[in-house]
Amino acid sequence: MKKILVIGGGAGGLELATQLGRKLGKKGTASITLVDRNKTHLWKPLLHEVATGSLDTGIDALSYAAHAKNHGFDFQLGRFSGLDRDTKTVTLAPLYNDCNELLIAERTLQYDYLVLAIGSMCNDFNTKGVKENCIFLDSPDQAHRFHKELLNAFLLHGANKDKNAKVNIAIVGAGATGVELSAELHNTAAQLSAYGFTNVNQESLNVTLVEAGKSILPALPARISAAAHRELTKIGVDVRTETMVTEANREGLVTKDGVTIPASLMVWAAGIKAPDFMKDIAGLETNRINQVVVKASLQASRDDRIFVIGDLASCTQADGSLVPPRAQAAHQMATVAFKNIMTLMQGGSTLKPFVYHDHGSLISLSSFSTVGSLMGNLTKGSMMVEGRIARIVYISLYRMHQIALHGYVKTGLMMLVGSLNRVLRPTLKLH
């Protein structure tokens, strides 16, 4: 029986393992195994909501083990640490508990086809003090850490007798994560007073969004960037473009001009890279940010038995540009990789080339607004949307991910439960 190993249970990896499990695993025609270092899955674009308490992972996260059981594949908890292409084996690092006691020894897994989908992480560009003083939002654990420190900061503020004092938060990087987080923070501040946080409201919060480029959301059309900038300014976010950060310390951020931006909480959300250990791993071709170079079929350029999808893939489009690191790209890659693996499993050799279709981008500014563009390159232009319509479409992107994992019926039931929870539970996670 052929063994298909998927490393990484993000949006693309989990969708691919689910499809393969349904088609091959349940029929016993192939062994499908998904590996991830976490026990649960959460759609990465929602991490900013976890960080502010708008989303409770205890309710919304998906258990890998349970999902695997229901969809015909196996799940192994572990961290990818090595690859041997000659023996077609992957090494998983030892697993320890919080007391540094060994739970599972280092182990190796065999594969016939390997899919690498471990995603990306924030790129601090080796900026001084960032690792020690800033929080990244690459994982639920990091989002939980920010949430805990955010609540503590508001508690300290409530006990401060200085009425002019503020909770200062600085965010570096005005891409989707930075922009959405800055808006969500103001929504959180506006709601916390109802839960016993004294002297806490939007006026007690000072959020500074720092961007090195000329505009926020640099990957999106100028009109969307301008609309988001206006909305953020309207709710009180201090947006600073063309501002280069050269250092982070306990007092805040230091810019290239020598200006210090005071902050008790700092988030680094500027740029991405693949993990450092992926650089030239097992002789695979990688680029300057450690992404694995792939062919049009999404196979690694130097190994046809290895597929790479999502943010880890350096995939060149027809116009010479790279496929952007977006959830919709990971979703589309998972679909093409599934079709190509099925072709190989059935003895075929003609594989489908990956062509990225940009369906537009939407940015949620919490309860204040949603802006974005629809259709992208499906038409000669794009259609800008704002407000309620944009919000509905934004939510539908997550629903499409849920449908890919659970189907229409279960997703509908999950939507119903979510509606009930909004009535029964607090609007913010307070612990």
Token pair of 310 as six digits: 């999502």
pLDDT of residue 20: 98
Q: Tell me phi and psi for residue 138, to 5 degrees.
A: -95, -15
Q: Which pLDDT belongs to residue 417? A: 82
Sign of CA dihedral 260, 264, 269, 272: positive
- Tens-digit pLDDT profile for residues 163-178: 778 899 999 999 989 9
Class of domain 2-120+274-345: alpha beta
Which of helix, strand or coil describes residue 299? strand
Provide the percentage of residues in the chain whose pLDDT is more than 90: 65
- The yes-or-no verdict on residue 376 having pLDDT over 50 is no
pLDDT for the residue 374: 55
Per-residue confidence band for 187, with pLDDT thresholds at 50, 70 and 90:
confident
What are the pLDDT digits (tens) for 109-141?
999 999 999 999 999 999 999 999 999 999 999
Enter the tokens of residue 370: 């949603």
125-271 CATH choice from 3.50.50.100, 3.30.70.560, 3.40.830.10, 3.40.50.300: 3.50.50.100
Confidence (pLDDT) at 207: 96
Task: Report the predicted TM-score, pTM, of the whole model to 2 decimal places.
Answer: 0.89
Q: What residues does each domain of the chain span?
A: 2-120+274-345, 125-271
Q: Which of 185-189, 226-230, 279-283 has the highest mean pLDDT?
A: 279-283
Instruction: Work out the average pLDDT over 29-49.
Output: 93
In angstroms, the CA 222 to CA 54 distance is 29
Q: Among 40-49, 312-321, 414-423, whose mean pLDDT is lowest?
A: 414-423
Instruction: Tell me which range, 192-196, 282-286, 358-362, is most confidently predicted by mean pLDDT.
Output: 282-286
What pLDDT is attached to residue 378?
37
What is the DSSP-derived secondary structure letter of residue 27?
T
| Residue-wise pLDDT tens digits, 299-340 | 999 999 999 999 999 999 989 999 999 888 999 999 999 999
379: burial class by Cβ within 10 Å (0-12, 13-18, 19+)? exposed
305 or 360, greater pLDDT: 305
Residue type at 154? F
Q: What is the mean pLDDT of residues 395-401?
A: 80
Q: Residue 384 above 60 pLDDT?
A: no
Mean per-residue pLDDT, 62-83: 96
Distance CA 264, CA 418 (A): 34
Q: Which of 131-135, 251-255, 270-274, 357-361 has the lowest mean pLDDT?
A: 357-361
Mean local confidence (pLDDT), 147-152: 94
Confidence of residue 248 (pLDDT cuts 50, 70, 90): very high
Strand partners, 80: 92
Question: What value does the mean pLDDT of the chain take?
Answer: 89
Q: Name the more confident of 387 and 222.
A: 222
- Counted residue by residue, the chain has a size of 431
Residue 231 in contact with residue 369, Cβ under 8 Å? yes
| Average pLDDT for 128-155 | 94
Instruction: Give the C-alpha separation, 293 to 302, whole Å.
Output: 9
Rounded to an integer, the average pLDDT of 138-155 is 93
Fold agreement between 2-120+274-345 and 125-271: yes
Q: Which amino acid is at 335?
A: T
What percent of the chain shows pLDDT beyond 70?
92
Helix (H) or strand (E) holding 232: helix 222-235
pLDDT of residue 387: 56
Q: How confident is the model at residue 191 (pLDDT cuts 50, 70, 90)?
A: confident
| Residue 393 confidence (pLDDT) | 66
Sorting pLDDT into bands at 50, 70 and 90, what band is 377? Answer: very low
Under a CB-based contact definition with an 8 Å cutoff, are residues 401 and 411 in contact? no
